[in-house]
């Protein structure tokens, strides 16, 4: 590890494994962090929360060396010493390891190859696979995985991939583990298992920093919570000294009480406008594996229809296959709009028919991150800003600024690169893109994944407004309280089938789970 100074921190920090003091970081035109302080005690689980854009990820990038010393102001003390990290490798040598929300695994390499990638055990310049496999097995036991070290990452579910990332961190002799939204893509069971693992690590003396928008999970494991708002530290909550509830955290995050998580809804539901009949889809690679098994469902004008189900139930496969057959093979069934059968055999035909699909993976499939907001917003309807096939720059700018105002996209201008927006504002850009295409049916797949409670409320308000305009909305979500809070009617999926349907007024989390559990193997 490169330490430009070996200076001891003051005695007051003796119980702290980490102190970040007066951290400030500026990007062109934006002050991302302003005099932020963070203290993590040895052996504790410390949560860092805040709205999207509050500075959480920027602070962790400063700590982990992504932004090296000299690119920020302030001091970092780790294990009592002043540290000036040059890069990620430098911070990892000190024992600080960060696991990002987007997992950094190579799908077609094995577990062992991923764990020791770039740090392979070797003898005389030749990789010692026996040593690599033996160490991998030991690490996998620590995180509760029973798979052989030779298992390819692509053959693992998301929950197990997350555990492989943690095994990688343990291989680097981690002392402080940083997890950025580790449960965003996990189901409830995998999330609980991961949180239990953090508690086990705590018992072994490993400190953790947990960044998450799932406040209920934070309250399960956190000893201390630091709240950031607008790039500054606004609160520090000691969960061991006082009882902290979600309302208390939200008030610090948004600067006000958020009495109701979901905006009031006054539905005006009309006749059915969208219908899917006997929809069958086979796996995109394994032609003998049926993923969607004769599904029927419908959506009424002005209705918000929720689709609930566990991870792997087929919800995303259903949505993608309907939207231009962008998933699967040997697809059959019928799709109707206003009582007339429509052709959804390609994405362009589905769009022309009046469908739009907001993907669950906005960064890989929803946006061109290196492009600006303006171009992302108009991407799905270039004809709407063109004259004789030539894009009208003035009209494109006018459209982009309209959606910026209407959806309250927080940015310096519509010329800002989309990659530099917070998750909530990126999601608003994706919504803008599809709204500009003029759909009648909008399918939203995990529309609030990875965004904070304030941004969620804004997304819910947009959904309500679209329903009031008479559009049909389909919302797929892994968060059952969210579906119960925003939907008019809920379908329940399991193993590629619709196994339940109920008006939200009669629905509950227990009824949804009961529909799933009683359908297994049927």
Task: Report the C-alpha gap between 75 and 82 in whole angstroms.
Answer: 7
pLDDT tens digits along 67-121: 999 999 999 999 999 999 999 889 989 999 888 877 788 989 999 999 988 878 8
CA distances from 392 to 122, 385, 429 (A): 59, 6, 20
Query: Mean pLDDT score of the chain, rounded to an integer?
Result: 87
Can you point out the beta strands (E) in 63-206? 73-78, 81-83, 96-99, 122-123, 126-127, 176-180
**Mapping DSSP to helix (H, G, I), strand (E, B) and coil, where does residue 205 land?**
coil
Helix (H) or strand (E) holding 203: helix 188-203
Residue 481 token pair: 């309280």
Residue 128: Cβ within 10 Å count? 14
Q: How many CB atoms lie within 10 A of CB 438?
A: 13
> Which residues, including other chains, have CB under 8 Å from residue 281's CB and lie 6 or more apart?
290, 291, 292, 317, 318, 321, 327, 328, 329, 330, 331, 496
Residue 4 has pLDDT above 50, yes or no: no
Cα separation values, 319 from 297, 302, 304, 358, Å: 12, 19, 15, 10
> 393: alpha, beta or left, given left = phi > 0 and alpha = psi -120 to 50?
alpha
Backbone conformation region of residue 264, classed left if phi is above 0, alpha if psi is from -120 to 50, else beta:
beta
Q: Do domains 1-95+175-259 and 261-354+441-451+471-522 have the same CATH topology?
A: yes
Give the C-alpha separation, 476 to 473, whole Å. Answer: 10
The answer to whether 303 and 267 have CB atoms below 8 angstroms apart is yes
State how far the Cα of 366 lies from the Cα of 488, in Å rounded to an integer: 26
Return the closest-CA partner of residue 64 out of 145, 167, 179, 157.
179
Beta bridge partners of 490: 306, 502
Task: Check if the beta carbon of residue 137 is closer than 8 Å to that of residue 149.
Answer: yes
pLDDT value of position 3: 38
**Structural domain spans, the chain:** 1-95+175-259, 102-173, 261-354+441-451+471-522, 361-438
What would the two tokens of residue 397 be?
């700018």
pLDDT confidence band for 223 (50 / 70 / 90): very high
Nearest-CA neighbor of 492 among 521, 522, 513?
513
| pLDDT of amino acid 7 | 40
Other CB atoms closer than 10 Å to residue 283's CB: what's the count?
A: 16
Rounded distance, CA 367 to CA 379, Å? 9
Among all chains, which residue has been given the structure tokens 């309907």? 322
Q: Of the given ranges (111-115, 183-187, 406-410, 437-441), which has the lowest mean pLDDT?
A: 183-187
Q: Is 521 exposed, middle or buried (0-12, 13-18, 19+ CB in 10 A)?
A: exposed
The answer to whether residues 374 and 415 touch, using CB atoms and an 8 Å cutoff, is yes
Of 75-84, 242-251, 373-382, 394-403, least confident by mean pLDDT is 242-251
pLDDT of residue 259: 57
Cα 190–chain centre separation: 15
Which residues make beta-bridge pairs with 98? 178
What is the C-alpha separation between 43 and 98, in angstroms, rounded? Answer: 17
Q: What pLDDT was estimated at residue 264?
A: 87
Please give the Cα distance from 351 to 329 (Å, whole number).
20
Q: In angstroms, rounded to a whole number, what is the distance separating the alpha carbons of residues 520 and 379?
A: 42
Q: Give the pLDDT of residue 495.
A: 87
Q: How far apart are CA 115 and CA 237, in angstroms?
A: 35
End-to-end CA distance of the chain: 57
Mean pLDDT, residues 477-504 taken together: 92
Confidence of residue 272 (pLDDT cuts 50, 70, 90): very high
Percent of the chain with pLDDT over 90: 51
DSSP assignment letter at 505: G
CB 368 within 8 A of CB 418: yes
Count the Cβ atoms, other than its own, within 10 Å of residue 420: 18
Alpha-helix runs per DSSP H in 207-274: 215-221, 246-254
Q: Is the pLDDT of residue 454 over 80?
A: no
Pull the structure tokens for residue 363: 């960064």
Q: Cβ(62)–Cβ(69) under 8 Å?
A: no
Question: Where would I find the H helices in 45-187?
Answer: 56-63, 88-94, 111-115, 129-143, 158-171
Alpha-carbon dihedral sign for residues 394, 395, 401, 405 = positive
The pLDDT assigned to 496 comes to 92
Side-chain-facing half-sphere of 252: CA atoms under 13 Å: 19
User: pLDDT tens, 296-333?
Assistant: 999 999 999 999 987 778 999 999 999 999 999 999 99
**pLDDT score recorded for residue 522:** 54
The residue with greater pLDDT, 365 or 521, is: 365
Do 433 and 380 meet the contact criterion of CB atoms below 8 Å apart? yes
Q: What is the spatial distance between Cα 149 and Cα 133, in angstroms, rounded to a whole number?
A: 6
201 neighbors 95 (Cβ within 8 angstroms) = no
Instruction: Please report the pLDDT score of residue 12 as a whole number.
Output: 39
What residues have CB less than 8 Å from 453, skipping those under 6 apart? 51, 213, 215, 250, 253, 254, 258, 261
| Closest to 40 (Cα-Cα) out of 13, 61, 67 | 13
| Best mean pLDDT range from 141-150, 178-187, 424-433, 486-495 | 486-495
Instruction: Report the helix count and the strand count for the chain, using DSSP H and E.
Output: 16, 24
> What class is the 1-95+175-259 domain?
alpha beta
* Structure token digits, residue 443: 């399918």
Residue 162 has pLDDT above 90, yes or no: no
CATH superfamily to which 261-354+441-451+471-522 belongs: P-loop containing nucleotide triphosphate hydrolases (3.40.50.300)
């Amino acid at each position: 590890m490169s330490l430009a100074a070996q200076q001891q921190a003051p005695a007051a920090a003796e119980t702290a494994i980490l102190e970040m003091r007066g951290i400030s970081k500026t990007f062109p035109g934006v002050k991302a962090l302003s005099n932020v302080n963070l203290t993590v005690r040895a052996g504790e689980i410390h949560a860092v929360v805040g709205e999207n854009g509050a500075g959480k990820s920027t602070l962790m990038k400063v700590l982990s060396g992504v932004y090296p010393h000299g690119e920020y102001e302030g001091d970092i003390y780790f294990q009592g010493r002043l540290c000036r990290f040059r890069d990620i490798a430098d911070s990892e040598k000190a024992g600080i390891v960060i696991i990002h929300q987007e997992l950094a695994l190579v799908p077609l390499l094995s577990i062992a190859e991923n764990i020791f990638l770039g740090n392979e055990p070797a003898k005389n310049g030749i990789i010692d696979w026996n040593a690599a496999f033996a160490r991998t097995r030991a690490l996998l036991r620590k995180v509760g995985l029973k798979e052989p070290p030779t298992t390819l990452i692509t053959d693992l579910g998301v929950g197990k991939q997350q555990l492989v990332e943690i095994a990688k961190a343990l291989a680097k002799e981690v002392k402080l583990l940083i997890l950025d939204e580790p449960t965003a893509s996990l189901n409830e069971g995998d999330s609980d298992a991961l949180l239990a693992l953090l508690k086990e690590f705590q018992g072994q003396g490993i400190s953790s920093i947990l960044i998450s928008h799932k406040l209920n999970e934070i309250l399960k494991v956190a000893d201390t919570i630091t709240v950031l708002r607008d790039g500054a530290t606004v609160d520090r909550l000691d969960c061991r000294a006082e009882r902290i509830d979600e309302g208390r955290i939200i008030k610090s995050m948004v600067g006000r009480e958020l009495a109701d998580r979901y905006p009031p809804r006054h539905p005006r539901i009309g006749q059915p406008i969208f219908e899917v009949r006997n929809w069958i889809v086979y796996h995109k690679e394994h032609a003998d594996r049926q993923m969607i098994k004769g599904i029927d469902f419908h959506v009424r004008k002005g209705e918000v229809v929720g689709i609930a189900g566990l991870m792997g139930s087929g919800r995303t496969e259903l949505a993608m296959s309907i939207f231009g057959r962008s998933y699967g093979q040997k697809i059959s069934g019928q799709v109707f709009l206003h009582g007339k059968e429509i052709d959804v055999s390609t994405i362009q035909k589905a769009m022309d028919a009046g469908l739009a699909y907001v993907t669950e993976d906005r960064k890989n499939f929803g946006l061109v991150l290196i492009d600006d907001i303006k171009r992302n917003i108009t991407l799905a309807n270039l004809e709407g800003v063109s004259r004789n096939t030539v894009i009208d720059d003035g009209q494109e700018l006018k459209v982009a600024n309209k959606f910026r105002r209407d959806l309250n996209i927080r940015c310096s201008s519509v010329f800002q690169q989309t990659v530099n927006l917070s998750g909530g504002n990126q999601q608003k850009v994706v919504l803008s893109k599809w709204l500009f295409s003029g759909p009648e049916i909008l399918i939203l797949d995990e529309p609030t994944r990875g965004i904070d409670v304030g941004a969620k409320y804004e997304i819910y308000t947009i959904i309500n407004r679209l329903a009031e305009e008479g559009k049909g909305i389909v919302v797929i979500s892994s968060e059952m309280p969210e579906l119960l809070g925003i939907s008019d009617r809920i379908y329940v999926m399991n193993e590629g089938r619709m196994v339940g349907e109920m008006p939200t007024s009669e629905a509950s989390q227990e009824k949804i789970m009961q529909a799933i559990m009683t359908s297994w193997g049927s």
